[in-house]
Structure 1
Amino acid sequence: MQNRRARRKFDDEPENHERWLISYADFITLLFAFFVVMYAISSVNIGKYRVFSDALGDAFGGAGSAQLINTEVPSLPLPNVAIKRHADAVRKEKEHMTKLAQDLLSTLAPLVKEGKVRVTQNSRGVSVEINASVLFDPGDARLTAESTEALRAVASLLRSDSHNVQVEGHTDNQPIRNALFPSNWELSAVRASSVVRLFVDAGVGAERLTAVGYSSNVPVASNDDPIGRARNRRVAVTILSGIPETVTEIPTGLPNQ
């Protein structure tokens, strides 16, 4: 009788209607884990992936980390637009400067042939080196009548160009001292200024021009003999490149002098 009452009490126990919450919670947990895994493999970090995989294996009773699948799309090097544009600009600038050098060579051909003018091109730009004997009397900074024709021919090319121009005066190492020039510094600077003044008078924009005197500090030949000293007495007109680059000197086909 007592057993029958106990069985009836157990059978009459009310049904639990919230048992589904356990299955629902398990499903949500698995769904959350699935989305976490999908997010993780969307940008794979190998170290973090292995740690995460090991943790999931331990949590779900697996056998350790899963085999790593490479989901990364190989990154192809994209062309650097800035570098390409700079390279194109350098190429065009070099072509322009080479054309300018050839025009100067052609314009000054007689003086080039006599060895009194040299035209060179390098990373700095195009330089026209004119022997001082072509431009000035000894110890003087006034341009001779014969020199103005050659300089005006150079100026005609510079007028149609937009590059800045630096005019450099150079002397030999022989000291000079007179009422006009206490030293070679003054002589070299005034000679460069005389050329600049002629260029301005010929229509070259003054804002593009610079005059520099170097005295005897930048020789191109030995000052131990008259030939070398004559070579060092010069004026260099340099058309400065708008995009300078570090390169070795580029010959322009001048004969050895």
Structure 2
Amino acid sequence: MSRSGRRHQEEEHENHERWLVSYADFITLLFAFFVVMYALSSINEGKYRIMSDSISSAFRSIPGSSSGAQVAVNTINSQLSIAIPAKRLPPNVKTDTAQAAKRDRLRNTAKDINKALAPLVDEGKVTVTEGALGITVDINASVLFAPGDARLDLGAVRALAAVAQILAPTDFPIIVEGHTDNTPISTPQFPSNWELSGMRASSVVRLFIESGVDGRRLTATGYADQRPLADNATPDGRQRNRRVAITIESRNPDNAVEVQISDN
């Protein structure tokens, strides 16, 4: 047999398994379709049965051509309705939102305190700052107490009662710290600056409780002269160190940068 005869017979040979290519393409597309639907949607039980019956019917009626694949997909689409669930925020987004709302509430509380004590803030007797632990209100001891005493003056009672009215509706933990300078004290009531600083902090806490602040949120601490703000070698430095610090805790020390709170 000549070469031309053999080539003619080879060209006439027909591959009867070409339908497998179309069938494989259809199965791949169908698999990808359901993977995407599973990732994006939720299917209720009734609709799932419809989808299952449609797939079974489609596979039973698929002819050996690519046109059958198109018919099967159309049958499924005509009977299946996917319910897209409501978009849910990831847990970290919810946490960030809650923390941002908490920071806003804390800063609004600080601004209210700043307004309530505005005359003392203008005189430099009170400072309101935001730090790593939360909001700190530093009140000079000369505003609150007589020298060497832990009883609140009448003007101090009014000022602290105004602060208590702002703090009472909130839920932030509150730490009240008493601080002194390094000048020694030795009286029957206050043998050292430790007793004086602790009693001054306790006097403020007691007034807060009487003004409606939940006592479970309050802590009184005395530090004597161990945490000075300024050098005790000068009269001005000693005056700055004699103070009561009220810290409204955020329990979220993300930002350790201290900033001045203003009304603007």
TM beyond 0.5: yes
Q: CA deviation at 1:122?
A: 1.8
Question: In 2, are the aligned partners of 1:132 and 1:233 still within 8 Å (CA)?
Answer: yes
Please tell me whether residue 130 in structure 1 is matched to residue 132 in structure 2: no
Which of residues 182, 185, 196 in structure 2 aligns to 1:176?
Answer: 185
Whose Rg is larger? 1
- Is the CA contact 2:128–2:260 (under 8 Å) kept in the aligned structure 1? no
Counterparts in 2 of 1:1-257, with a 5 A limit?
81-253=90-262
- Determine if contact 1:152/1:202 at 8 Å carries over to the other structure: yes
* CA deviation map 1:207-243 (0-9, x unaligned): 1110000111111111110011000000011111143
Matched residue type, 1:253: S
8 Å CA contact 2:178–2:197 kept in 1: the answer is yes
Q: Any idea what the Cα deviations from partners look like across 1:81-125, whole Å, max 9, x if unmatched?
A: 232222212211111111111111111000100111111112311
Q: Which amino acid aligns with 1:233?
A: R
Aligned mates of 2:204, 2:142 — CA distance in 1: 14
Letter in 2 for 1:145: L
Give TM-score scaled by structure 1 length.
0.66
Q: Which runs of 5 or more residues in structure 1 are unaligned?
A: 1-78
Query: Separation in 2 of the partners of 1:173 and 1:161?
Result: 35
Asked if the contact 2:109–2:167 (Cα under 8 Å) also holds between the matched residues in 1, the reply is no
- The 3-state SS of whatever aligns with 1:200 is helix
Q: After the TM superposition, which of the residue ranges 245-254 and 105-114 deviates more from structure 2? A: 245-254
- Which runs of 5 or more residues in structure 2 are unaligned? 1-87
- For 1:206 and 1:91, the matched residues in 2 are separated by 26
Between the two proteins, the alignment pairs up a number of residues equal to 179
Offset at 1:246? 4.0
SS in 1 for 2:248: strand
Residue identity opposite 2:226 in structure 1: N
Give identity over the alignment, percent.
Answer: 49
The whole-number CA distance in structure 2 between the counterparts of 1:97 and 1:159 is: 13
Query: Given that residues 202 and 220 in structure 2 are in contact (C-alpha distance below 8 angstroms), is that contact kept between their aligned partners in structure 1?
Result: yes
Task: State TM-score, norm by structure 2.
Answer: 0.64
Are the aligned partners of 2:111 and 2:262 in contact in 1 as well (CA < 8 Å)? no
